[in-house]
Structure 1
Amino acid sequence: MATNDFTPMFGMGNPNDAYAQYFIGNSYLNPLTNPAEAGIGMSNVTFEPGCRNNWHIHHASKGGGQILVCTDGRGWYQEWGKDPQELTPGTVVVIPAGVKHWHGAACDSWFSHIAFEAPGEDTSNEWLEPVDDSQYPQA
């Protein structure tokens, strides 16, 4: 468990070891629903300062994608070819299937969001290259 004073609204959860290979820095995962029971997967994801996930794409033949609801701290979201977007509590980001993107904490702030995997057909995630320091907003 992280040793800090950051207490996310929906709990820190456990180290995100299953997906650690797709992150720079440490993240924590707190599942909020069971997709098999609820029909939708929702998890609180917490990022230590500077932590971000790799570029990735949520694929689907119909529907799909991801929705982020930012709850704590300050972070970033970026779509391929676009400028980074600052994320603060209350920010909602709708990411359609097929959009290459990344998200994570600001370099000087812990950050949490709830991630919803939008229902769809033939859904999968494709993990791509890390977000290098030249792509990551330092401000």
Structure 2
Amino acid sequence: MELRPVSATVKAPARNFTGEVYLTPIYSGAEPSRMTVALVRFTPGAHTNWHSHAVGQTLHVTEGVGLVGTRDGQVLRIRAGDTVVCPPGEEHWHGAAGETFMSHLAMLESLTGGVDPTTWLEPVDDEHYQQANDC
């Protein structure tokens, strides 16, 4: 057993997010584990760019109200206690609803050889986000 200290919270890179987003790393597995877990905190209206994960991603909401959208137009309104499973390769985005903070645990597996499992794409346009938020 090993107790690890709390990691420093960092601001998420603006190239992959709209608005203010903060990441606190929780776990990054060493082989044979490939698990990565982070607590992600979104300010109201903040959200990710479109992106996908080679091995999928699981989001578990810990606080607030958020949104998850897919390329086919599906939008989920998510709340504390909800868990969303994004399958491998599915292009999606997620973040806070317009008037509330939202925090979630982001869980994914890395690829072997240190290859980044996340493919970052273009920002979600304001009209698309607003339509999702109005649902």
**TM-score normalised by the shorter chain: which range applies?**
0.7 to 0.9
Unmatched 5+ residue regions in structure 1? 1-10
1:30 aligns to 2:21 (yes or no): no
Describe the superposition over 1:103-134 as per-residue Cα deviations: whole angstroms up to 9, x where unpaired: 00001000000000136566621111111111
Partner of 2:11: 16
Secondary structure of the structure 1 residue equivalent to 2:14: helix
Within a 5 Å distance, the mapping from 1:1-139 to structure 2 comes to: 14-17=9-12, 19-36=13-30, 39=33, 40-59=35-54, 64-118=55-109, 124-136=117-129, 137-139=132-134
- The residue identity in structure 2 corresponding to 1:65 is G
Q: Runs of at least 4 residues of structure 1 off by over 3 A?
A: 118-123
Unmatched 5+ residue regions in structure 2? 1-5
What is the deviation of 1:138?
3.3
Does the CA-based 8 Å contact 1:57-1:99 persist in structure 2?
yes
CA distance in 2, matches of 1:38, 1:46: 29
How many pairs are equivalent?
123
What is the deviation of 1:36?
2.1
- The residue identity in structure 1 corresponding to 2:43 is E
Residue identity over aligned pairs, in percent, reads 36
TM-score, structure 1 normalization? 0.79
CA distance in 2, matches of 1:15, 1:120: 23
- The residue identity in structure 2 corresponding to 1:49 is P
- The residue identity in structure 2 corresponding to 1:74 is V
CA distance in 2, matches of 1:119, 1:52: 22
Does the CA-based 8 Å contact 1:67-1:118 persist in structure 2?
no
What is the deviation of 1:79?
1.2
Q: Are residues 37 and 120 of structure 1, via their aligned partners in 2, closer, same or farther at CA, if it must alter by over 3 Å?
A: closer
TM-score, structure 2 normalization? 0.81
The alignment's C-alpha RMSD in Å is 2.1
